[in-house]
Amino acid sequence: MATNDTRELQAKEKHEVTHPAEKTRPGLMFTPDVDIFETDQALTLLADMPGVTPERLTIDLRDNVLTISGEATRSAGGNETPLLVEYNTGTYYRQFSLSEIIDQDKIDANLKDGVLCLTLPKVEKATPRKITVTAQ
Amino acid sequence: MIYRSAFGLPGWNIRNAFDELNRMRRQMDQLFDSMSTGSQISYRSGVFPAVNLTEDSEAYYVRAELPGLKADILEIEATGKKVSITGQRQIPSAGQNAKYHRRERESGRFSRVITVPGDIESAKVEASLSNGILTVTLPKAEEARPRQISIR
């Protein structure tokens, strides 16, 4: 699908979420915007997580539930006073349930310019065998 | 067990009541926390990108979340008290045979002008882009900087 380049981007508020478990650390939690697409070979997930560095990103996969969690570093210096606050920073958190067809050992994650790219390869299908029936 | 005999209520009811009180207390704490830390969004312009503006004695800092943007696509201009950020966010297509399950990330053009309260030295404006966060540093003009005045 071609992207519509002439469109004006609209300001969108971040979706704030409450953590399913009780929080032990202060701070806000947001749902990152994601694109997920599937090809014959793999499932690709792209997530916007601005301000997250690879050290502060955790990707966890257990019981077929993929959890992405990344903490955005506060970019403002210590002695700066805010004049205008239009967005808040916090932790990005989102969970997805995966199907069995994902080859969980070959998952590849790449974080660049605040965008996480997660490649989830599908399990190679058993090659179909042709059985020839010989008639006597 | 004492409660049960004293109030004539089953024990679990008492515990539930305390759980409910604890829950309310937590919610109140959260509410006060968010009020005191000033984490509430104080102003929404509705124009992309959302920016945070801060200042220290040296400069003003404009920050915006622009994930996936390359520095060469962004155009930043500073004049007088204004700084404009113009660019385009492109999301490459996944190809013909890709099937989308989610499509939440958006592409498109954007342009925004931010006015800062004081004069800036437009020749010394710097911008950096790291981890999807754009930071524009606008040094304050010499006249606009706070000056320590000694009392004789």
- Write down the mean pLDDT value for chain A: 82
> Does A37 sit within 8 Å of B94, measured CB to CB?
yes
**Are B85 and B124 in the same domain?**
yes
pLDDT given for residue A102 in this prediction: 82
CA A13 to chain centre: 18
pLDDT given for residue B7 in this prediction: 52
- pTM, entire model: 0.73
Tell me how many domains chain B contains: 2
Question: Comparing C-alpha atoms, which of A127, A120, A109, A100 is closest to residue A42?
Answer: A120
> Does A88 sit within 8 Å of B45, measured CB to CB?
no
Q: Classify residue B44: in a domain, yes or no.
A: no
What 8-state DSSP symbol labels residue B14? H
> Does A80 sit within 8 Å of B55, measured CB to CB?
yes
**Are B68 and B128 in the same domain?**
yes
CA pair distance B138, A7, nearest whole angstrom: 29
Comparing CB atoms, the residue among A8, A38, A86 nearest residue B98 is A38
pLDDT given for residue A3 in this prediction: 47
Residues of B in contact with A97 (CB under 8 A): none
pLDDT given for residue B36 in this prediction: 53
Question: Comparing C-alpha atoms, which of A96, A102, A29 is closest to residue A67?
Answer: A96
Q: Where are the domains of chain A?
A: 15-74+83-121
d(CA B92, nearest CA chain A) in Å: 7
> Does A9 sit within 8 Å of B41, measured CB to CB?
no
Tokens representing B121 are 């030295």
Count residue pairs from A and B with Cβ separation < 8 A.
Answer: 174
Q: Classify residue B140: in a domain, yes or no.
A: yes
Q: Which residues are within 8 A (CB) of B50 and not within 5 positions of it... i.e. 6 or more apart?
A: A11, A86, A87, B44, B64, B65
For A29-85, the pLDDT digits (tens) are 899 999 999 888 888 999 999 999 999 999 988 888 899 999 988 777 778 888 888
What residues make up the domain containing B121? 51-92+107-144
> Does B51 sit within 8 Å of A84, measured CB to CB?
yes
Q: Classify residue B43: in a domain, yes or no.
A: no
For A103-126, the pLDDT digits (tens) are 878 889 999 999 999 999 888 764
pLDDT given for residue A24 in this prediction: 64
Question: What's the CATH number where B116 sits?
Answer: 2.60.40.790
Mutate to test the interface with A, among B35, B102, B107, B128 (most CBs of A within 10 A): B102
**Are B63 and B116 in the same domain?**
yes
**Are B59 and B131 in the same domain?**
yes
> Does B129 sit within 8 Å of A11, measured CB to CB?
no
**Are B138 and B84 in the same domain?**
yes
Q: Classify residue B16: in a domain, yes or no.
A: yes
Q: For residue B115, give the chain A residue with the closest CA.
A: A84
**Are B82 and B55 in the same domain?**
yes
CA pair distance A19, A90, nearest whole angstrom: 12
CA pair distance A38, B98, nearest whole angstrom: 5
CATH code for the domain defined by A15-74+83-121: 2.60.40.790
pLDDT given for residue B10 in this prediction: 52
DSSP, collapsed to helix, strand or coil, labels residue B127 as: strand
ipTM above 0.95, yes or no: no
* pLDDT above 60 (res A5): no
Residues of A in contact with B93 (CB under 8 A): 1-3
Q: Classify residue B118: in a domain, yes or no.
A: yes
CA pair distance B110, A28, nearest whole angstrom: 27
What is the mean pLDDT, run by run of 10 residues, along chain B of 152 residues? 50 69 81 56 71 90 92 89 91 84 90 91 91 93 80 85
pLDDT given for residue A50 in this prediction: 93
